[in-house]
Amino acid sequence: MDKKDKIIWVTGASSGIGKETAKEFARAGFRVAATSRRHSILEMVNKELSSENLCVEVFACNTASSANVEQTVKSISAVGHIDCLINNAGITTFKLAEENSIKEIKEIVETNLLGAIYCIKAVLPEMIENKGGTIVNIISVAAEQVLKGSSAYSASKAGLLAYTDVLREEVRKYNIRIINILPGATYTPMWPKDILTQRGDDMMKPEEIAQLIVSAYLHDKKMITEKIIIKPIVGDL
């Protein structure tokens, strides 16, 4: 199957790792479906790619809504075959557990854990039918490390790591690859501005992680990188 017949679906593509990943796949010659909750911000991806005579296809999608995810997949599938899902959409707060409201916790879990699962469930039937496909989950070192001020975020990411580790074993028979990326501190808008000002120079760049994601996808289909932990050279921040 030609690259142009394969669609790479990147969620949370309006900024940070998702945005850079969508751009990097476009540079590699793939068709890219870039989604986020706000369609207007997604157009910035194409604005930045215009100088390279490249573009991605943009769709508004709130991954926390299973109905919205299903409709988005129908729209994407109408123009091509989804060969790879990049589960990147995520939110967080930087509060102690005692300070997090139930509403905040619910929103974090619905987006980071359930939203990722909704996307997986939406693409899985076609991948099973086609006997192949790749699902890349952008998780976090917070799934395995104790990071104060990130209890709800850590719970959501640990849940996704556990879910997809089990899923990987269940779908090997269909030649479906599950790749989990666990980045450490990365320079993205998710961080408070004061932290970016103080520690931004020590953080990893989204474009570097994007290049790693594309590389992992392009590995020979008989080989799978199951889990990648990446951290700033200075270590945990």
Q: Which of 85, 90, 205 is nearest to 139 (CA)?
A: 90
- Answer yes or no: are the C-beta atoms of 163 and 112 closer than 8 Å: no
| Percentage of residues of the chain with pLDDT beyond 90 | 89
- How far apart CA 94 and CA 200 sit, in angstroms, is 16
Q: Are 204 and 183 a contacting pair, CB within 8 Å?
A: yes
pLDDT of residue 82: 97
Residue 37, token pair as written in the block: 């909750």
Q: Which residue from 22, 32, 133, 21 is spatially nearest to 80, judged by alpha carbons?
A: 32
Q: Cα–Cα distance between 185 and 173 in angstroms, integer?
A: 35
List pLDDT tens digits, range 95-137: 999 999 999 999 999 999 999 999 999 999 999 999 999 999 9
Q: Specify the CATH number of the domain 3-230.
A: 3.40.50.720
Q: Which of 118, 153, 187, 217 is catalytic?
A: 153
39-91 confidence digits (pLDDT tens): 888 988 999 999 999 999 999 999 999 999 999 999 999 999 999 999 999 99
Q: Is the pLDDT of residue 33 over 60?
A: yes
**What pLDDT shows up at residue 25?**
97
Q: How far is CA 152 from the centre of its chain?
A: 18
Residue 235 pLDDT exceeds 90? no
* 187 close to 196: Cβ distance less than 8 angstroms: yes
Query: Is residue 1 over pLDDT 60?
Result: no
136-190 pLDDT, tens digit per residue, is 999 999 999 999 999 999 999 999 999 999 999 999 999 999 999 999 999 998 8
Model confidence at 2, pLDDT cuts 50, 70, 90, reads low
Q: What is the pLDDT of residues 182-226, one digit of tens each?
A: 999 999 988 989 989 999 999 999 999 999 999 999 988 788 999
Catalytic annotation present for 118: no
Encoded tokens for 162: 């556990």
Taking the C-alpha atoms of residue 185 and residue 191, their distance in angstroms, rounded to an integer, is 9
pLDDT of residue 205: 97
Quote the Cα angle for 56-15-208, to 5°: 85
CB atoms within 10 A of CB 127: 23
